[in-house]
Amino acid sequence: TQLLEQSPQFLSIQEGENLTVYCNSSSVFSSLQWYRQEPGEGPVLLVTVVTGGEVKKLKRLTFQFGDARKDSSLHITAAQPGDTGLYLCAGPGGGADGLTFGKGTHLIIQP
């Protein structure tokens, strides 16, 4: 089974600060996805990274896939209260279908 470790587990910062959260594995993934989940809702896809070393930007969010395709990071610039949520990374699992998820990072942005 391929495992994804996310850190930190919890993060609470002030509005306007920058932050980075990490997703690491000892296994190589063909792709990694980042989702955000808000209370009472299911996860919503933010981005998919496919190529080692790839960097993708989504407004204030910057996603990076490690060169060896074993890790990924999400950097948020000038965090806003609307960024609050559970950030999950996921990749194709060991089985035929479905995704393997990390435990997630609970992010709280305080006004």
* Alpha carbon 63 to its chain's center: 8
- Which C-beta is closer to another protein: that of 75 or that of 92? 92
Site string for another protein, 42-61 (x = CB under 8 A): xxxx--x-------------
- Which C-beta is closer to another protein: that of 33 or that of 64? 33
* Residues with Cβ within 8 Å of residue 79, at least 6 apart in sequence: 13, 15, 16, 17, 18, 19, 60, 107, 109
Does position 102 interact with another protein (CB under 8 A)? The reply is yes
Binding segment for another protein among 18-26, 57-65, 67-75, 91-99 (CB under 8 A)?
91-99
**Strands (DSSP E) along 1-111, which ranges?**
5-7, 10-14, 19-24, 32-37, 44-49, 55-58, 61-65, 71-76, 85-92, 99-101, 105-110
- Which C-beta is closer to another protein: that of 14 or that of 30? 30
Does position 41 interact with another protein (CB under 8 A)? The reply is yes
The contact set with another protein (CB under 8 A) reads 4, 30-31, 33, 35, 40-45, 48, 88, 90, 92-93, 95-104
